[in-house]
Structure 1
Amino acid sequence: MSTHKHVRKSAGEVTGSEALRMDAERAEQVVDALNTDLAATYVLYHQLKKHHWNVEGAEFRDLHLFLGEAAGHAEAFADELAERAQALGGVPHASMTTLEAEAPIAPESEDVYDIRTSLENDMGIYGEIIETLREHIELADRLGDFATSELLRENIVTVEQDAHHIEHYLEDDTLVFEGAME
């Protein structure tokens, strides 16, 4: 095994892609947007997994399954974002330190909250991600990167569906008596 380290591309470096006919200047703007989305999506992923692991109560099974599926959606989207950033000649964020630092959203603390609070925190993150994705779709369109725009458009549908499901879980209609939740 070699003890020499050779950096092939530095973090933050964007070369563009000759094959995709994307110059470095336009690619850098798109890669920056994709890395922001990647960081936010990983924050969401880890928070959803936290809630998946810690959910309790009468709605445990449905919420446990939903949160696991939603985390899976986030993980798959993160992979697509990273692969697109790389295809455009960029370096996708990969370290936990960088992902958290570059995310436009903050995760909740390590504490375990009641499920309503947890889902409300998830809704906040989903809302921020949805707004950012819309901005990045417009950016990609303006720069003529229709493949990135399409990738974001396809995924925002799933992001919005998962947010909408959480919205339903937060409705006040429940089989659990209010006094039992205190």
Structure 2
Amino acid sequence: MSTQKTVRQPAGEVEENALRIGTDKAEQIIDALNTDLANAYVLYHQLKKHHWNVEGAEFRDLHIFLEEAYEHAEEGADIIAERAQALGGVPVSGPANLEERATVEFEGEDVYDVRTSLQNDLGVYGDIIEDMREHIQLADNLGDYATEEILREILVHVEEDAHHIEHYLEDDTLVLESATK
């Protein structure tokens, strides 16, 4: 077993890549991807927290939905990280680095009622959607059409999950008012 502790690539350093995207362009794209990666993990942890703590008449449906949503966030994060690496970068990792890098904020450790939790999730989703759209445009402007396509595919899932949360937040329900008191 090797005991060497050689740094192969320092975080923040961009190497040449086999994709033939110049280092100057790759740096900009990797920077955007690392923001998307950090945001995805903030969302992941918030959704996971809500999955653990959801209660009420819609418990089962929300519990299942939140699990699917945090799995989507994690799958998207993995794809984003692998793309950043393929472009010659180092994907951001570690809780402190992810928190520092994210443009969205984790709601904290407190447990909120279901409606507040979902509203908080919807806010994070909205911010992520806006950032991803900007990053899709950036990739397009820099001629990285594969990253553009990858982000578009992830964005579809992000928007679908946000839309489902929007439906959960509607006022119409089959739960009787007297049953909720």
TM over 0.5: yes
Give, in angstroms, the shift of residue 114 of structure 1.
0.3
Aligned to 2:130: 131
SS class of match (1:53): helix
Alignment identity in percent? 69
Structure 2: which amino acid aligns with 1:90?
G
Give, in angstroms, the shift of residue 94 of structure 1.
1.2
Query: What are the residue-to-residue correspondences of 1:36-75 with 2, within 5 Å?
Result: 36-75=35-74
Structure 2: which amino acid aligns with 1:130?
I
Task: Give the direction of change, closer, same or farther, for the CA distance of 1:181–1:100 in structure 2 (3 Å limit).
Answer: farther
Give, in angstroms, the shift of residue 16 of structure 1.
3.2
Aligned to 1:8: 8
Aligned to 2:120: 121
Whole-angstrom CA distance in 1 between matches of 2:45 and 2:165? 16
Structure 1: which amino acid aligns with 2:95?
M
Give me the TM-score of the superposition, normalised by structure 1: 0.96
Deviations 1:36-94, CA, capped at 9 Å, x for gaps: 00000000001000000110000000000000000000000000000000000000011
Give, in angstroms, the shift of residue 109 of structure 1.
1.1
Whole-angstrom CA distance in 1 between matches of 2:125 and 2:70? 12
Does the 8 A contact of 1:16 with 1:28 survive in 2? no
Structure 2: which amino acid aligns with 1:174?
T
SS class of match (1:43): helix
Query: What are the residue-to-residue correspondences of 1:64-143 with 2, within 5 Å?
Result: 64-143=63-142
- Total equivalences in the alignment: 181
Aligned to 2:175: 176
Give, in angstroms, the shift of residue 23 of structure 1.
1.2
Gaps of 5+ in 2: none
Give me the TM-score of the superposition, normalised by structure 2: 0.96
Whole-angstrom CA distance in 2 between matches of 1:54 and 1:29? 38
Does the 8 A contact of 1:52 with 1:68 survive in 2? yes
Q: In angstroms, what is the RMSD of aligned CA positions?
A: 1.2
Whole-angstrom CA distance in 2 between matches of 1:115 and 1:178? 16
Gaps of 5+ in 1: none
Give, in angstroms, the shift of residue 121 of structure 1.
0.2
Does the 8 A contact of 1:15 with 1:23 survive in 2? no
Aligned to 2:152: 153
